Amino acid sequence: MIDLFYTNLTMNYEILRILFAVIGTSISAYFDIFNKKNIPDLVLYIFLVLSLIIVFIDFNLTLIIYSIGCALIVGIIGYLFYKAGQIGGADVFILCSLALLLPVQPKLFGNTSNINLPFIFSIISVAGFVFIIYVLFKYTPMVLKRKEKIELKRIIYSLPLICIFLIFILLSKKIDLPAIYLILIGFLICVSIYFSIFKERFMKTLIEKIPLNKIENEDVIAIEYMNKKIVEKYNIPRVVSSSDLKRLKNAKISKYPVYTKLPMFVPFILIGLLFSLYFGSLLFLF
């Protein structure tokens, strides 16, 4: 059995792969920013098809298996997040395309690792980290101004996270863990505590009540803030499709709570891509 994680994987057409990745993600980010988060389907399809073509003209069976395997994992996990209303469908297309184009870190930028870690994981890690910082700076002032009462159980739920961090600090001293890892773990735990305590305020900051004719395809409806009987009666999905919009015209609902203020994510994927191309995988960087 081929050990894909330790086999020396060499990508042909590295410059072409990198150009396609940067150009495709840049165009998508442009539409995400300047076209009200609506990326044309044609752009996404072309990006994905070109990525598949590059994979197969490489004529490297091991790399083909590895690339498609990474893309499938990203696609399946991404689809689950999409159906849960956590990310957009366009985000999944872009991440799959990048997983196909750049399955491992390009050697052009000094990849000296003996382990083939999926390059897409580094892109997602950087994108997620910068995205969290952006969300904290943009939405915290709005969250703190809201009047929703902070439930005691939210504070109680965060106590295990604090205990985990304290245990982690004690263990890090014994295994001589680099300080950067301690800082990153501490940051993630603090962010988790923040979102745990202010969850209701944060979620309601993103919601706007709008009529059906203003809801667009793939908008996320906050069904958790709707009457459960109405949701069940009309079979209201979390992520609406064009067919759902036609069907719901018969529903006697004046306005729907919709997450209209969800932040865009594709620009952060671009940041993650550029950072990872230049600096390499976060794991080996630290």
Query: pLDDT, tens digit, for every residue of 88-113?
Result: 999 999 999 999 999 988 877 655 55
Give the whole-angstrom CA distance, residue 224 versus residue 211.
17
Integer CA distances (angstroms), 88 to 81, 129, 263, in order = 8, 18, 10
For residue 127, with 0-12 CB atoms within 10 Å meaning exposed, 13-18 middle and 19 or more buried, which class applies? buried
- What's the pLDDT at 252? 86
- What's the pLDDT at 2? 45
- Nearest Cα residue to 269 out of 119, 53, 166, 116: 119
pTM: 0.89
Per residue in 3-23, pLDDT (tens digit) is 555 556 778 899 999 999 999
Flag residues of the chain having pLDDT under 70: 1-8, 109-115, 177, 282-286
- Nearest Cα residue to 9 out of 83, 65, 54, 53: 65
Give the whole-angstrom CA distance, residue 104 versus residue 8.
10
How many residues in total does the chain contain?
286
- What's the pLDDT at 126? 93
- What's the pLDDT at 174? 72
- What's the pLDDT at 203? 92
- What's the pLDDT at 110? 59
- What's the pLDDT at 199? 87
What the block records as the tokens of 2 is: 């081929």
Instruction: Answer yes or no: are the C-beta atoms of 51 and 20 closer than 8 Å.
Output: yes
Instruction: Answer yes or no: are the C-beta atoms of 9 and 103 closer than 8 Å.
Output: yes
- What ranges do the domains of the chain cover? 14-126+264-285, 135-203, 208-258
- What's the pLDDT at 164? 78
- What's the pLDDT at 282? 67
